[in-house]
A and B are shown apart, each in its own frame.
Chain A
Amino acid sequence: MDQWYKIDNTGKIFHAVSNASNSAVFRVSMTLHEMVDPKILQEALDIVVLRFPTLTVRVRKGLFWDFLEQNDQVLLVKEETDYPCAPIDRKENNAFLIRVLYFKKRISVEVFHSLTDGGGAAEFLKTLAYEYLLLKGEPVEADGTYIMLPHDAPKREEVEDSFEKYATSRAVKNPASSDKKAYQLKGTTLNPPGINVIQGIVDAKALNTFAKAEGTSLTGFLTSLLIKVIHMEKHREKSKSSLITVAMPVSLRRHFPSVSIRNFFSVSNIGVRMSDDVPLEEIIEQVTQQLIAKTDKNFLQESINRFVAFQSHLWLRIVPVFIKYPVMRFAFNQFGERAKTLTLSNLGNIQLPESMRPYADSMDVVLYPTNKSPINCGTATVNDKLTITFSRSIEENKIIKTFFKEITRLTGLDVTVSSNGWGE
């Protein structure tokens, strides 16, 4: 009960803006080659929770900011029965903001975004799977590949707010983003409201080779194709706005030497002004240039400074939460969300210890949709299997359908698709 944490810089925003239609809960899963044993998974979880103190917390109400307090209850593994990224019912979940689920061969970790980002959740899942396999008697060992070993003591730098640590200035004059309004997806809300998930698995190595041949990275290719496909579908709707922007969370750990498992990412908006005669090659070129520029260390440093400067404002700090949160929610919906068409979050090629790799079939990440961004996309690669996961809160799935069709048409690769069938 003694340990408590301020919600980190990015986490405060998720905490303020989450509601029934924006759960701010995302999922990272690992699918094994054999059925998950829930008893052993619970044993593994009981050990791993001690390694990740900032993830096993409950939220407490404060006057100026809410905060996180150590939760001494037991975090129980549960069989998956709900749709992915459903809002976390704190009462049913012993007040934890994280849940660990299993379904057949899959272990899923769903986390409220105020606690951590995709990178932090992936580390938790890797450690959980490692301990699970160990307890099952499998000969896994950490062979030099970075994994947070379950029995190590948590380090101070793992629980730090890296935004505060790496900010070089708190005096940014214009803290607001200058990104322009982008085309926004619209559709009929699913009945019942919830999240429909469609996953496509594709050969990562082959797709990466194809992307390289096109002069871009895997992320660059997927982003370009998404922009192209959205334009194709938008064209059918005869919509006027033509700037299609993909918001891309960028892990700052790659550029700043942070080992924090709390939120430490920035969002780069990659936008292309589309017209009918923009070929895919030109989209790829523009996207690649922007990706290079917007993942540059100096650009990211500015973004860290902007975040910290914004939340250091005295007026923002001294306003009580019951006024601040509705204002933040309004600003997020009106200004933050209008600059993007959808979010594409790429966890990248997740590194597992060599001895763990034979046990993992695939990994995936599911993002939560929001009102202004009703379709989002998360990708993750493990063992050369790229899983592309679309999550949507609307009935319309033409973009997803065309996206997978275009991958097959352009690359000749098979895409293996599955869905949770929610709302259908």
Chain B
Amino acid sequence: MSSARNETRMAVRSCSAFVTAAAVAALLVTVAPVVAHHSAAAAYDESKRVDTQGTVTRVLLKNPHSWVFLEATDEKGQKVEWQIEMAAAASIGWTPATLPIGTEVKVGGHPSRAPGSHGMTAARFTKLDGTPIGRGQ
């Protein structure tokens, strides 16, 4: 009887582990980035990384790419607008509630190539305390 109960418990555990693994796999599949609209290398330097902090002023969840606009302060104390290119709305898995306007965030990613520009891609967003926001692309 005890052995049968153990077997049942193990079966339940295996089943719940399987369900968890399946859910994680499904989530990964759902949010797999689709970034193949253009060559990122033409516009962004994928060998470099840039980090900034600022306030979200606009979010466009669109196809072929979503964009986040950020008001930040540069090293000279001047206000600058960062334009951050994200995955397609079809695959990013964000809603307008993911990153509300006015949110203070930290963000890091590959910088744009054009001199003097403030663009970024492959970005990871976090709250100021380091909590991840959504999924980067």
Chains A and B are bound partners: no
